[in-house]
Amino acid sequence: MVDEEKLPWDQAWNIMYHTFAYTNHTVLPEALEKWSVDLIGKLLPRHLELIYLINFFFLEKIKKRYPSDMDKLARMSLIEEGDQKKVRMAYLSIITSHSVNGVAALHSQLIKQTIFKEFDEFFPGKL
């Protein structure tokens, strides 16, 4: 929408945000998809630029709300640092969706209490 339709970022974000919802299918943190930054950069360089931009805006919001909690930035960032940087795809889905749920009511409660607890606190009512 930004590149092809030439919409301003805020307008494109608003359309995208109100279009997408995310259904999570696991409560196991190790089962959440993480994609290699290097691979995305080679195959989809513009997408990676946008992911980094989304992450920048999101981390700025975290800094405002939790100015003294730098560990929270690392835990909630879309980018997992390490020997090989990875994009946390579930986190990207949460940030870019208007609502998030599990596959059943019990599953929804579990993800709010466990793997996405900080996101549930940051986005009250979204999960």
In a domain, 4, yes or no: no
pLDDT tens, residue by residue, 72-102:
999 999 999 999 999 999 999 999 999 999 9
Count structural domains, the chain: 1
DSSP E strands in the chain: the ranges are 21-23, 34-36, 79-80, 86-88, 99-101
Q: How many CA atoms lie within 13 A of 44 on its CB side?
A: 10
In a domain, 127, yes or no: no
Reading across the β-sheet that carries 79-80, which strands appear in turn?
34-36, 86-88, 79-80
Report the chain's C-alpha Rg in angstroms: 15
In a domain, 78, yes or no: yes
pLDDT tens, residue by residue, 11-61:
999 999 999 999 999 888 888 999 999 999 999 999 999 999 999 999 999
In a domain, 3, yes or no: no
Q: Tell whether pTM > 0.85.
A: yes
In a domain, 2, yes or no: no
Provide the domain limits for residue 80. 9-122
